[in-house]
Amino acid sequence: MTSRMKKKLLYSGLVLALWGGQAMADDPYDDWGLDTPLRTARLIEDDTAGSDILSNDDEASLKDRVAKLEALLADKSEDDGEDPVEELSGTVDDLSDSFKKFSGDKSIVHSGSSKSTMKVSGRVHVDGWGFADSDDNISIFNGGGDVDDALDPQNRLGFRRLRFGVKGDIKDNMIYKIEMEFAGGNDSEFRDAYLGWEELPFLQTLLIGNQKRPYGLDHLNSSRFNVFIERPFVIESFNQDARRLGIASYGYDDAQLFNWRYGVYNQRNVQSLGNYIDDHLQLELTGRLASTPWYDEVSGGRGYAHFAISGTVADTDPDAINGNEARFRSRPEARSSGRWIDTGRIASADAFQMMGVEAVINLGALQLVGEYQTMNVDRIDGFSDANLDGGYVYASYFLTGEHMPWDRKSGTLARITPFQNFWSVRRCDGGVERGWGAWQVAVRYSTADFNDGVINDGVFGGQGDAWTFGLNWYWNPNARMQFNYINGQIANRIVSDPADPPAPAGPLDNTLQTGDYSIYGVRFMVDF
């Protein structure tokens, strides 16, 4: 310890001794069970009782008094065999380290025995949807593609997401997360549910359990940060509900130039079931490699570029008890009762392979994003293979100047922080002071082609095209309102109107039909 540090500690000890002797009857640290600096200071005070070291003699300079105190401490050190200054320094350091650890810890629970921690998280998304205008065929699509089951789209109000979860650390380098979805009322489901390890050699982070499959940027982005209320056709279709039971590794390089994730998953969505039961496991091997070749550190990440490639190779079972997993479907980029694009379970599908590419360019308040994915389905029993594909592009712009932050470790969007939060208070003079939050406008074009082949041999899930216009109002980093208007078309989807003896089949049976639609939606959301 340097001479200057010793003197600073001595000054502190002197002040504590004076304050403790005159103003404190009891040591406030007694309840903590600590051997504190105050006790050390009191020992000094006791030893100086009756002396002039701690007197208030105005003629004695502070330097003289400190010099006498140093001499006394030296004598005490020789008598006790301990250095009070070193003891005081160590205690201060321990208290400082404990405070830093406590102030940076966001856990709400610490287990006394296992040393595990728990943090609480949640989100509430309240949606309203209105179906302004649609053709008659849209009712057939909404009912599942059967004329007899046609269902006119109805306006909707309710919870899109109502989630509550916990996550934390387990000694030594284990982690866990459990998240439940309650938006379905009595039909609750789990979402993220896994255990894992961090800081592993080579694998870095390894998770086992229900987690997102690593393809489709718009799905890998959290719904807390996405620009539009619902995801594009192809992203939702090829990775419906995203999460599957599997084991996966996550990592990134030291420079955060590259990040990756890869794993093996079961293809069935078991979030409402808890288990997959079948002789055939229907596994898929998936991966994603992403890069952020440009990131403007000087501006705090207001400028960056991202590129990624992803893919999957899946082994399906044409004879599975509950059907093979080669089914790709999507709602109209809004919350409807049925899927308006739907291949059904593709007959005799034996395997499929998907590849996707994605790119993001961010220039201050402006962001440009695009993705394209293509799927090839291998079929047996004399059926022709099928190819499905789709993609989207969008542009967003902050009218108030903010930017979309980027997480280089995961290759996904991060939390938006407004320059000024939304608030309103009344001043003492009767006026009103306000903050207006952050405002963002966006437009997206999305397309999907799930048709391939000829009638009675091919796949005809439909072709979708949609324009979405969005307005986002960020109240603060954890709350916002979104508004979307969607104008689109579902074309060439096969419908059925089978014979019902003695009546013959209807005129639309086994034909390709098209319908136009307009939808508007609003969301109020908060997360914590």
- Asked whether residue 45 is assigned to any structural domain, the reply reads no
Nearest CA to 374 among 306, 305, 452? 452
- How many folded domains does the chain comprise? 1
Alpha carbon distance, N-terminus to C-terminus of the chain: 45
382 φ/ψ sector (left φ>0, alpha ψ -120 to 50, else beta) = left
Separation of alpha carbons 337 and 358, rounded Å: 30
**CA–centroid distance for 236 within its chain:** 17
Tokens of 109: 């629970």
Residue 64 domain flag: no
- In 356-487, alpha helices (H): none
pLDDT along the chain (528 residues), means of 10: 50 46 42 44 48 52 74 65 63 69 68 84 98 94 96 97 97 96 95 98 98 98 98 98 98 98 97 94 98 98 98 95 92 97 96 98 98 98 97 98 98 98 90 94 98 95 98 98 98 93 89 97 98
Task: Say how far apart CA 189 and CA 94 lie, in whole Å.
Answer: 45
Query: How many other C-beta atoms lie within 10 A of the C-beta of residue 497?
Result: 19
224: helix, strand or coil: coil
- Contact in structure between 195 and 173 (CB atoms under 8 Å): no
3-state helix, strand, coil in the chain (%, to 5): 20, 45, 35
Residue 391 structural domain: 121-527
Residue written as tokens 């096969």?
494
Residue 26 in domain: no
Q: Is-cis flag, bond preceding 172, omega within 30?
A: yes
Q: Which residues pair with residue 158 across a beta bridge? A: 127
Amino acid (1-letter code) at residue 168 = G
Q: For position 241, which CATH number holds?
A: 2.40.160.10
* Secondary structure E strands in 220-348: 243-252, 258-266, 283-295, 303-315, 329-330, 341-342
Beta bridge partners of 396: 367, 442
* pLDDT at 81 (0 to 100): 58
CB 396 within 8 A of CB 227: yes
Residue 219 counted as domain residue: yes
The number of CA neighbours under 13 Å toward the Cβ of 131 is 20
Alpha-helix runs per DSSP H in 331-481: none
The single-letter DSSP state of residue 473 is E
If phi > 0 it is left, if psi is from -120 to 50 it is alpha, else beta; for residue 405 that is beta
Distance between CA 175 and CA 197 in Å, rounded? Answer: 6
Residue 50, domain member (yes or no): no
Give the DSSP letter string of 81-124: SS-HHHHHHHHHHHHHHHHHHHHT---SEE-TTT--EEEEEEEE
Q: Please tell me the number of Cα atoms within 13 Å of 482 on its side-chain side.
A: 26
What is the Cα gyration radius of the chain?
Answer: 32
Residue 153 belongs to a domain: yes
Cis (ω within 30 of 0) for the bond into 502?
yes
pTM attached to this predicted model = 0.81
Q: Which residues pair with 315 in a beta bridge?
A: 351
Residue with tokens 């590259």: 258
Q: Which residues pair with 341 in a beta bridge?
A: 330
Write down the residue that tokens 């790709």 correspond to: 328
Tokens 């996707």 sit on residue: 356
CA distances for 351 relative to 106, 318, 375, angstroms: 45, 9, 11
The span from the CA of 465 to the CA of 489, in Å, is 5
What is d(CA 179, CA 409) in angstroms, rounded to the nearest whole number? 22
Beta bridge partners of 133: 518
Strand-pairing partners, residue 166, are: 120, 178
Type and span of the H or E element at 21: helix 3-23
Cβ burial 75-101 (10 Å sphere, 16+ → b, else e): eeeeeeeebbbebbbebeeeeeeeeee
* Per-residue model confidence (pLDDT) at position 38: 44
Q: Which two tokens stand for residue 22?
A: 């005159």
